[in-house]
Amino acid sequence: MRLEAVGLVQDGTCDLPMTQAELGDALGISTVHVNRTLQELRGEGLITLSGGRLTVDDWAGLSAAGEFDPTYLHITQPDAA
């Protein structure tokens, strides 16, 4: 949502130029756990991750899986002109 708010998402796809090891370090989890989690998200048809690009294939499903609540971000949408 943050990347979308600043125009860095197109058709549900954004750059994610990180290795699984880097993701694990950033999240404080093991590379094995990152790999298993990504495989599960792919297997459920929620995401596609390839070549440093992340595509969210099922936003509602991914939000539910992560118990995501966007209200904490305090993102306002620009007014329609």
Distance (Å, whole) CA 32 – CA 5: 31
The predicted pLDDT at position 19 comes to 95
Distance (Å, whole) CA 54 – CA 13: 5
Number of domains, the chain:
1
The predicted pLDDT at position 77 comes to 59
Look up the CATH number of the domain holding residue 38. 1.10.10.10
Residue 78 lies in a domain: no
Residue 80 lies in a domain: no
Residue 57 lies in a domain: yes
pLDDT digit string (tens) for the chain, length 81 residues: 889 889 999 999 999 999 999 999 999 999 999 999 999 999 999 999 999 999 999 999 999 999 998 888 777 655 554
The predicted pLDDT at position 12 comes to 94
Using DSSP, state whether 21 is helix, strand or coil. helix
Residue 59 lies in a domain: yes
Domain that holds residue 60: 2-73
